[in-house]
Every structure is written in C-alpha cells, then in structure tokens.
Amino acid sequence: MTKTFRYLSPFLLFLLLFLAGYSQADQKSLDEYWKEVELDISLLDRTLSNENCQSDARSFIGCVQALNRLFARDEENTIFIPSDSLASFDIPLTPIPSADFGDLMLAAFPEFNSTSLVDNAIKATKFRNDLNTRLEDLFLSPDKSVDFPYILAWFKTKLLDKKKDDIQKITAEAYNSFLSVAEDPHTYILPSRYFSDRMRSNSDNYGGIGAWIKKRDEVVLIKPWKGSPAMKAGLLPGDIITHVDETDIKAMPLTDVIKMIKGPQGTKVAFRIIRKNKTLGSPIIVVRERIDLKNVTHKVLEDKNHEHRVGYIKLRSFGSEDTCRDVRRALEALEAQSVSGLILDMRDNGGGLLDEAVCVSSLFLPPNSPVVAIKDISSGFETTYAKDSPLLFDLPLITLINSGTASASEIVSGALQDHRRGFVVGDRSFGKGTVQSGRHFSKGVLLYQTDQRFYLPSGRSNQLEGIIPDLQVFTKPDPDKDDMFAIREEDAYIYALPHIGDKFVQPRPELVNALSRCVNATGVAKRLARDEFLDDYQLLYAQDAMACILERKESPPSFFTGLKQAPGFGSRMD
C-alpha cells in the first residue's frame, strides 16, 4: 500500500478545495489544474450513452445528475425532473424553456432559506428523496422517452460555446456527478498533480484574515486567531458580517463569501459589521497576510478551577505524511511539562492517510495492538494494521470528536474507544468507513475509487453509524434543534454504502454513567460557557471529565459510589 494515493477521507477533497479558497496568490486553483489535463467532452459521449444510462436505475439517475451539472446556471438553481411531476413536489418549481427532452424537463427550484438549519435540511432531503423516487419510477416505465445523447447534443450546440474555457472542469464535474450515484459518493476523478502539489506545498499556509467564520442565517465571525490580521484590525468574536467590500453577502453561499475574503497578501478587504445588535458606523479594514495554520498544535490548558495540568493537542487532519511525527513531538513536549492527562481534539478532522492514522493510534496503545482491519470489497481479502512501536503516552486520555470527525480520524477515535483507552467525548462522528485507491484514468487524471471497507478492533464498522461518544456533548449547554443538527454520511449521500455488522453497544455503561454524574455534580463547564463564540463548551466539558478522572483517588468513596471498583476509570490502560 502506498501513502500517496491511499485515502480514507470523505472531506479531503472538500478540505483541499476549502484551503485552496484561502490559498496564497501563487497557488493554483483546482480549475487551473483541470486546464492542464487531457479531458474533453467525449468522455460524456460514452457516459451518457443510452446503453449506459438505461442499464439500471442508479445509472439512469447518475446520468440525470450529470445533465444537472452541465445545465447548471449561476443565477438560479436548476434540475431535471420527470416532465409529468412538476406539480407533485412540496416546493414550487418553475419550468425553464428549452427543447423537448421527452419525459425529462428542466426546472428551477427556490433556495431553502428558513432561518432554521434543521428545517432547511428536512426540506432539502425530502425534495431529494421525492425526486429520486420519481426518477426511479420513470426508469421503470416501459414506455419512457428519454434520449440522453440527444440532450447532450443539444447542450453542445446551444450552451457549450459559452463554457468552452472550462470544458475540462465541466466534463469532470459532470462525470463525477454520474459516479457519485452510479458507483458511490466517494468515487471521483481528480487531476493527479492536485493532491501531490497540495501535500508537497503544505496547504497550511495561505493569504487571508486569520479567522473562523460560519453561516446560519447570517455570516458570523466565530474567532479571530491570536495575532491575526482580523484581530489586529479589531474584528471580534460574534461580529455579524453584512458586507464585504461594500457587497451585501446575506444571500451568498459561504463558499462565495470566502472567495471574496481571500486575496493576495498585502491587499485590503473591508467588512461592515453588526456588533451586539448595533451597526458599526465605519467599515473595518483588514490587510490580508500569510497565515500559518499548523496541522498539529499543543498547549497546557488554562486551569478551569481544577488543580491538574492537562495537555491539549489539536489534530486538524491526517493529510500530511508528517502527522504522526508532529503528534509524537507534541506529546514529548507536553510530558516534559509534567501534564497529568491529555485531551486529543480531532473535531472537524476530515481524515487523510491510513498509515498516519495507524501510527497516531499506536502512540497511545501497547505494541502490536490492532488498530484497523481493511477488507477488500470484491475479494474479501483482509489486512489488519498494527505497529510494534512502544507505547509513548499512557496517562489518562480524552478524545474529542464531532460530526466533522471523519474516516481516518474515526479510525483513531474508534480504536482508542475499542481498546478502552480513555473516553470519547463530543458528538457522533461523520460515519465513513470506506477506503479509496487512486489509479490512472487518463493523462494527468486519477480515478479515486472505493474498493475497501475498514473495521475497528472490535470488528464493528463505523460506516453510517459513526463513532458514538461515551459522553455526548453538544456545542452549548442547552442546545436547540439547530445546535444539535449536523450533516453526516447518511444525510449527505442518498446512495452511501450501507452499514454492515453489529451496532455499537457501550461496553462500560456503569463507568460512563458514573463519569457523567461526576461531571454534572462537580463540573464548571456550564458556568464558564457564557459566550458561544468565546467559550468552547465541549472542551470545557472534556476538562471537567478529565478532572473527575484525575481527582478520583482523592475523592471520598461515598462520592463515587460503585465507581472505585470499576476497572479502567482513571487508569493508564484498561
């Protein structure tokens, strides 16, 4: 197995695209990489042949998805639907004048713009499922009239000339849309140099303002990084951004907002801000700088009414071949500072390289402890991965995860959980348990294809189920339905591979319940988490849990009724 083209991440492509949006002025975008490869519209001639599209229902729907990408418009949301289904959906659809495409027609649909993320997701999911049901019914109709080559030929005649400068990109995106349904959501093509260049140049560096932002119904600045251009200019956590360079961004997708914020180092970007329900009179001007966002960072956590020194490591991805080395160095640095325990934060870690996930897991486990088994989907051949390296860190451990913890980071958190190595705290992870291999597709293009599943040491699969934390904690002490909402594998992809095997069953219920009772009785997280932007409630809760673990021996026996006899709680290994 090679590291270069063996990936476990559903988000690695997204992550690289996201980082590219923030990239330095001299780094190329994915669009530019597509211009360098040999890929033309003839690929779609084969893909959108009637023989291919009419072979089964998933290929049929995949071909419709490819057409959706070809006919996409910047000014409105467009989609192909069965011609007789216009009035059958719960949302209003508007027909778009075009040629007679038989039993398919092009329609526009509105934005899902409720202020509730959950309500938007429910509407979007229902629309997607209803549409797929109607497309499946159309495929099964014996007298259907859908000529995919004719629709592709119409596109080439009427629309291709307007998009000729992006022909490789459009072809690739249409083909990937087909693969996401006909094969599986994590099978796609990509320029071969794109991954390798991003790995080589270390995509942690970019020109930007140095702040996290999110969007619900408004674009909100979550946190400017210490010493960042955003902080130096006076942007504060919780600031609502209404305009970027005098452009109203309220209706813009977050990705478009990010594109506006990025720019060459040394250039300026202006923000109009609402702060504490008041509009600031003048825009805040930020000078873009090169931002160094390290993949692995560590520190000793500030004491939160506890007497113990607790180490903290933030691990953002497994996309670098230096990941395990950097985690090892962070552990050594923290041990030199005499920490009593560690919180390993893998929230929003989208995954990466298998070997790095195995190596990081082994830092916390005895030599030759099994970490993951990789099973070939077609042949059934299975390989178990472990390392014979010595245990590096045997102090109490808490692993932090959330819905953005995916694939390779699920291997680490799941392996530690199965070996009863500390406790997992946070929210259920993303739920992707498949592996992709890269192979030659055409000159300058690789096909990343799902060919294996992985299984955790207990034999369970995290596919669709994710890693279920020992202690579930949301981002707020009293979350509403939007705070508890997250997109996971089963939500993002209608044709995701199914879960195989047994469901997760908590192996230490009494111990976990005792730890939960201790946190609720003695913890300070709820009292300290006063500001959702300034205070990280999940991390504060993890600190409370670590305090309970570390203070166990000094506590009166009556306080931990039934706990002192339970194995593993507070021990270095179980």
Give the residue numbers annotated as catalytic, written as ranges: 407, 418, 432
Report how far apart, in Å, the C-alpha atoms of 105 and of each of 94, 102, 147, 202, 452 are. Answer: 10, 7, 12, 45, 38
Distance CA 191, CA 35 (A): 10
Contact 82, 134 (CB under 8 A): yes
Contact 106, 71 (CB under 8 A): yes
What is the helix (H) or strand (E) element at residue 208, kind and residue range?
strand 205-208
Neighbour tally for 376: CB within 10 Å: 13
| Three-class secondary structure of residue 441 per DSSP | strand
Distance CA 537, CA 540 (A): 5
**Amino acid making up residue 462:** N
Burial 149-180 (b: 16+ CB within 10 A, else e): eebbebbeeeeeeeeeeeebbbbbbbbbbbbb
**Amino acid making up residue 263:** G
Distance CA 356, CA 467 (A): 19
Distance CA 369, CA 408 (A): 17
Distance CA 329, CA 268 (A): 37
Burial 490-522 (b: 16+ CB within 10 A, else e): bbebeebbebebeebeeebeebbebbbebbeee
Provide the β-strand partners of residue 81: 105
Contact 352, 338 (CB under 8 A): no
Closest residue by Cα to residue 69 from 156, 176, 150: 176
